[in-house]
Amino acid sequence: MHHSQHISAGEQAVALHDKVQALLAEKLGSALLRSQIDFEFPVFIVEKQHIYECLQLLKEEASMKFDFLTTMCGAHFPEAGEAEFMMMYQLHNLQANDRIRVKTFMSAQDLELPTATTLWPAANWMEREAFDFYGFKFKGHPDLRRILNMEEMDYHPLRKQYALEDASRDDKKDLYFGR
């Protein structure tokens, strides 16, 4: 953290991005779809078929060592067709204090992903949460059950088609608020 006094956070993010991008491009080739920097955070978008390979590489490659899984979460973009669902992994190299984000996109028909529990036991409940709320199926997960919602629930509530408001209420229409 001390070098941050000389190099700005933005410059650090660019340097980190370039380093990781070079490795992923070399090892994964075209499976690294694109990369960008979002608010000083390097982000790498990887093809789903290669996501496990990518995570393993980032964790184990001597020059990378992103061996701490900060968090994982899903997201739903109903209009996005082939990229309707997103799974995000946020990794941290604690020694160098570098953080990156890896994302993969998939269609609603193809929500199967390899589990990351074999890399990080911490992924267990994160994947159960992503399954619970979005319906991602993590292949190889030791115990893929719902975690926060009740087992009897028959839908995945964070998907965008499930409105939060009670549909029978008519006092909260956007129309009344000029929206």
Structure tokens at 171: 């006092």
Give the number of residues written for the chain: 179
Which residue number, 26 or 174, has a Cβ lying nearer to another protein?
Answer: 174
Q: How far apart are CA 169 and CA 167, in angstroms?
A: 6
Contact 24, 57 (CB under 8 A): yes
**What sign results for the dihedral spanned by CA atoms 46, 48, 53, 56?**
positive
Residue 113 has phi, psi (to 5 degrees) of: -130, 155
Which residue number, 28 or 126, has a Cβ lying nearer to another protein?
Answer: 126
Which residue number, 30 or 176, has a Cβ lying nearer to another protein?
Answer: 176
Q: For residue 172, what is the DSSP state?
A: -
Q: How far apart are CA 131 and CA 163, in angstroms?
A: 19
- Least distance (Å) between residue 58 CB and another protein: 15
- Least distance (Å) between residue 120 CB and another protein: 6
- Indicate the SS3 state at residue 5: helix
- Least distance (Å) between residue 38 CB and another protein: 5
- Least distance (Å) between residue 94 CB and another protein: 6
Which residue number, 39 or 109, has a Cβ lying nearer to another protein?
Answer: 39
Q: For residue 158, what is the DSSP state?
A: T
Which residue number, 52 or 133, has a Cβ lying nearer to another protein?
Answer: 133
Residues that bind another protein (CB under 8 A): 1, 38-39, 41, 43, 67-71, 73, 75-76, 88, 90, 94, 97, 99, 101, 120-122, 124-126, 129, 133, 141-151, 157-158, 164-165, 177, 179
- Least distance (Å) between residue 26 CB and another protein: 26
